[in-house]
Amino acid sequence: MYALVDCNSFYAACEKLFRPDLKHKPVVVLSNNDGCVVARSSEAKALGIKMGVPYFQVKDYCKHNNVAVFSSNYALYADMSHRVMNTIETLCPTVEVYSIDEAFLYLADYPAAMQDLKAYAKSIKEMIERHTGIAVGVGVGQTKTLAKLANHAAKKYPATKGVCVLDNEPWIRRLMQITDIGEVWGVGSRYKKRLAALGVTTVYQFAICEPAKIRQHFGVVLERTCLELNGQACIGIETVEPKKQIVSSRSFSHRVTDQQDLSEAICGHVAKAAVKLRRQNSVCGFLDVFAKNSAFSEQEKYVSISGQYQFITPTADTRQMMLAAREVLARVYKREVRYAKAGVILGGICQHDEVQLDMFAAVDSHECGDGSEKSDKKEALMAIMDELNSRFRQDRNQQPAVFIASEGIKDKQGWQMNRQLLSPCYTTRVTDLLVVK
């Protein structure tokens, strides 16, 4: 048996958590640069505010209906997610963190849970809400797909009180009959249209299809989904594997035309990607740099620039990677382009202990600052930077306490992400702690 724990309207719930005055009020959270609605509380959903709608289209509507609007506060959401997942991991020995607000639990490894599944699911919900204040839904099923379906029922039907256990065949069949096929894990809009053309519109109609025919028309992935709906586990708990590619990119708050500004932005992305690389104890073999203007502008032609740097020896050294990124940008930069987005991609990733060193120890100016710095000293320096930056942050935008000068001074970068409606970092910044009077 599997359980799926899913936080309810997670981003909006985090914003409400430290604002009791918003307890029963509509709340929406916006995407980067306050562009689109990416999260809604249940009250905001009831007002008809759609996911992904541009904020400027609903700004007046939100104001008229007293909707609380927030910029994305990633520091707050990440910390609250960490607290939720830590609580979950104390309740079951086998946990797969599926996303920032979801986790699968494999209950077969925990005999105490199997004795009374509903009581155990209720205890999970109660403990998470007691420890973190975040409301969750808990779905339990024989497979991960059935657990997802149960979680959907736990959130949609008030009678479940946030907990749904699919351990009864008549109840499973009834739920499938009243649930749209689009609610099944892995069935997107394209699959839904193709299935509808075959007369399959409910989960039950899909579940009774012959798996072989599903595979013939839709492939092995959807065949596994069909099998899972029939209680045959095809998708197990996945271990966390090191990423084979790391991307860091973001749109600017306004168009960038200066090469130095663009260079600082790209170096900032290199620094973020390098930290992620070191966290998984990896190194990268090459680095791609890219930048582009808006593809939707009617006033200018779409322009995209990109280039790659191949390292002689794979590295995770931020300084070395920034030198490479700046060289690539100098090579591919185009003037008189109003850049709207830039970023970097790290590829050729392998584990640190799998690196094959250069047999001639050939080190040029790009590979090492003075040509004599040893690998262990590089690693020690990067480790110190990471430790300092994990302990100290200068502002709510998570500026590093220690950074490479090529990144520029954040306070002087007018193109930084626009977050005019940002809430305080209640749990990660001392000056933002709530004061009780």
Q: What is the pLDDT of residues 72-113, one digit of tens each?
A: 888 889 899 999 999 999 888 888 998 899 999 998 878 888
Between 139-153, 241-255, 310-324, 383-397, the lowest mean confidence (pLDDT) is in 383-397
CA-based nearest residue to 36, from 46, 24, 49, 23: 49
Residue 399 identity (one-letter amino acid): Q
Mean pLDDT of 8-17: 92
- Please name which of 2, 224, 1, 10 lies closest in space to residue 102, comparing C-alpha atoms: 10
CB of 141 within 8 A of CB of 175?
Answer: no
Please tell me the distance from the alpha carbon of residue 66 to that of residue 44, in angstroms, as a whole number: 10
Nearest to 427 by CA among 396, 387, 388: 396
pLDDT at 364 over 50: no
Please give the pLDDT value at position 346: 93
Per-residue pLDDT, 363: 46
For 338-362, what is each residue's pLDDT tens digit? Answer: 998 999 999 988 888 777 766 665 4
The CA-based diameter of the chain, rounded to the nearest angstrom, is 72
Tell me the chain's radius of gyration from C-alpha atoms. 25
Q: pLDDT (tens digit, 9 = 90+) per residue, 372-411?
A: 456 778 888 888 888 888 777 654 455 677 888 888 877 6
Amino acid in position 107: L
Cβ neighbours around 48 below 10 Å, total? 9
Q: What is the DSSP string of 345-393?
A: EEES-EEGGG----TT----TTTSSSS---HHHHHHHHHHHHHHHHH-B
pLDDT band for position 331 (cuts 50, 70, 90): very high
Q: Give the chain's domains with CATH numbers.
A: 9-72 (3.40.1170.60), 76-229 (3.30.70.270), 246-412 (3.30.1490.100)
- Are 290 and 325 in contact by the 8 Å Cβ rule? The answer is no
Q: Calculate the alpha carbon distances from 226 to 51, 138, 171 in Å.
A: 28, 22, 18
* The pLDDT of residue 371: 44
Tell me: the pLDDT tens digits for 255-311?
888 899 899 999 999 999 999 999 989 999 999 999 999 877 778 888 999 999 999
Say what the pTM is. Answer: 0.77
Q: How confident is the model at residue 429 (pLDDT cuts 50, 70, 90)?
A: confident
